[in-house]
Structure 1
Amino acid sequence: MALAVDTPLRAPAPTAARPVVPRMRRRLGIVAIVASASAMGLAGLFGRLASPPGAVIGETLTLGRMAVGALGMVLVLAAGRRLSVLRRTRVSWSVVLGGVFLGLSLATYLSATVLTVLSRAVALHYLGPVVATVLARLVLKERARGTELLTLGISFAGMVLATGLVDGAPTVPDGDQLLGDVLAAVSGLLYGAALLCYRYRADMPADVRNFWNFTFGALGAAGMVAVTRPDMSGMTAQNWVWAGTFFVVCGFLALGLLVVAGMHLRSVELSALSYWEVVVAMLLGAAVYGEAVSPLAAVGALLILVAMVVALGRRRPAGTGAAPSGARGDRAAEVEPA
């Protein structure tokens, strides 16, 4: 497998023809991130149903999630007679790292949810979109307008309230809880790095990009499985059925759509809309497990919805949102206004 190097291209000569550059289709990106976040919101429910009592198998579930996604993309490519496109497409380091970062992020996050308070794990994991926005400003020189930053801030504040992070008195974590907090924070940093990587290689077809994303994500999760060696002896037939559902819905569908969204939305837009997952998870917890929704949590969910409405209703200014130049094919994407 040949790797392209993510280095800036030289400016073309004045007489050279302008290369054909992929367009960022904002409507497609919005639909993809909302659908992805909705499916990702089911991860907590399916993850609990797939795990035996007391077992910590987040790494294994993530490995299966990524492996099934990769297999699904092979079937999609084969059905569309596009396997030759997969063979011809060069893989760059941004593609490799995007998959590895996502696989490690999801594995550490699922393990963190077992070791620490769920609300704290969610809040630390969802530092990722904020990290992605900051990195996009530093690395890609993306300029976010005041309205965009306000939208992201409202979404983040809504997430903090919706997860109940400010409901009770603060406690000092210790033992397993401290380890869980560390893993959740690491998962957030890795998630942000993965979102940044999706801003590269706008030229790569979405199905091909998804295959490599799942493949390298599976390799990253497999590395964690080899190190932690989770105990799978308690898995029942019912656990495996739920695990299979988790692999397809929260893996193949949710993560595949996340990559599509990352290719068609600017980092600040992707970040603001991704918090919809928190609302979905909160509503499922209330409906399935009877978990109470406090007034502050309800206000938080409302803030997330308000931020989404603002983000959906705003027209992107012309000339913004270009992906960075880099390796062969790492060309900037032209913006298609909403």
Structure 2
Amino acid sequence: MNTKWGAIAMFISATGMGLVPLFSRWATRTDMFDGAKGLNAGNSVGALMATGRMAMGVIFFVCLVLMTKKVKVWKELKVSPAIIMGGVMIGLSLGCYVTSTLLTTVANAVLLIYIGPVVCIVLARIFRKEPMTIVHYICLVAVFTGMLFGNQLIGFGDSGFFVDFNLSASTPEFPLAGVGNLFGFLSGIFYGSSMFFNGYRKDADTAARGVWNFIAATVAAGSLALMLHLIGTLGHVPGWALDLQLTPFNWVGAVLLWIICGPIALGFLLVAGRNLPAADYGIIAYWEVPVALFTGLLVFGEALTINTILGFILVVGGGMYPSINMLRESRKNRKQSRLDSAEQPEEILETTAS
């Protein structure tokens, strides 16, 4: 493994992932920098944009299978429910996440999707009986508390500490902020579920599995877009019919979303996965959170409040701490292994001399 190249690749991948809010708003808003002017489409357009990104993922992995001459491997791969469900869950997650970035603040959307690792750990504990230490439980509480701070459900205000579980918040720029927060929460549930299902069938070739994953993800995201569209048309819920009126400027943003956050981010993610230990991989993945938060701050003028900052610290800290411990243990084991290897020739010489 080339860990230096792997780390660079992971930073590039996480940066691409973190730019989803930038390109999703570019691709859909009437005025990219002013959400109060609305979207050039219905609210279901977020799921449609996610469908495009997943479809680009299919194209990317098909090309990868062809270039690496693994067509036979792909044909012989036994497609299991876990492979399909992993794809379905990531497709639903991204569909909900992109929708969330359009309806609520970037900070809320990204902090909510990152409850995913918590969901994965809980599911693994329930269904695979994987052990959890006291540190894992503390980290779970930290991430969950950070999510509450980041979404202003608890925090510090003018009158001191407050608890307010009213999710129907509304502002001129985000009149459906409560709905956006709900989609963000669902994106985290689906993201964690995807991680859980991807824990199965580790024997499957990455490229071959990726084709099936992204086919399932494309169908899932497309089905979500269709369902939200039907809620607007047949259900007569205002604002949810697709009603595409995208400008050329919007389409540029859409293409950038599909390419930069699709094949480029996914491609470098594969490189990182092949060149980094799991702990390093997990730590650097959290780079996506500050990228998204600073995109909200610098591009869209979404100020970081004390509650958002506390939420960020708790979510990232709680998520990274187990990986840091794993990294330390891994490096300790590698160091011990090198020492053992260095001592072995001396023992052989002594034995021979005897």
Q: Normalising by the residue count of structure 2, what TM-score does the alignment of the two structures yield?
A: 0.69
Helix, strand or coil at the partner of 2:299: helix
- In the other structure, the counterpart of 1:132 is 120
Indicate the residue corresponding to 1:85 in structure 2: 73
Aligned position for 2:100: 112
Partner Cα distance (2:316, 2:120) in 1: 21
Is 2:27 the counterpart of 1:50?
yes
Which sits farther off after the overlay, 290-299 or 97-106? 290-299
Deviation track 1:165-219 (CA, whole Å, cap 9, x = no partner) reads 5355636344945543443333222221111011011111111122211111001
Judge conservation of contact 2:20–2:98 (CA < 8 Å) in 1: no
Specify the code of the residue in structure 2 equivalent to 1:222.
Answer: G
Q: Secondary structure at the match of 2:302?
A: coil
Matches within 5 A, 1:160-239: 161=149, 166=155, 170=164, 172-174=166-168, 176-229=176-229, 230-231=241-242, 233-239=244-250
Structure with more helix by fraction? 2
Of 239-248 and 180-189, more deviation after overlay is shown by 180-189
Q: Which residue of 2 aligns with 1:286?
A: 297
Greater shift, 112-121 or 184-193, is seen at: 112-121
Contact 1:158 1:302 in 2 (8 A): yes
Gaps of 5+ in 2: 31-38, 169-174, 230-240, 331-336, 338-354
1:129-161 alpha-carbon deviations (Å, 9 max, x no partner): 211110111112222333444455545555555
Q: CA deviation at 1:116?
A: 4.4
Give the Cα separation in 1 of the matches to 2:11 and 2:145.
Answer: 19
State, as a whole percentage, how many aligned pairs show the same letter. 32
CA contact (8 A) 2:61 2:210 kept: yes
Mark the CA change 1:73 to 1:113 in structure 2 (over 3 Å): closer, same or farther: same
> Post-superposition shift, 1:258?
6.2
| Equivalent pair of 2:104/2:176 in contact (CA under 8 Å) | yes
Q: Report which stretch shifted further, 283-292 or 256-265.
A: 256-265
* 1: CA distance, partners of 2:142 / 2:226: 40
Structure 1 stretch displaced more, 111-120 or 136-145? 111-120
1:75 to 49, 57, 63: 63
Q: Which has the larger radius of gyration?
A: 2
Q: Which moved more, 1:256-265 or 1:72-81?
A: 256-265
Query: Aligned equivalents of 1:139 and 1:226: distance in 2?
Result: 32
CA contact (8 A) 2:12 2:265 kept: yes
Show the counterpart of 1:37. Answer: 14
- Structure 1 residues 91, 171: closer, same or farther in 2, change over 3 A? closer
For the aligned residue pairs, the C-alpha RMSD in angstroms reads 3.8
| TM-score of the pair, normalised by structure 1 | 0.71
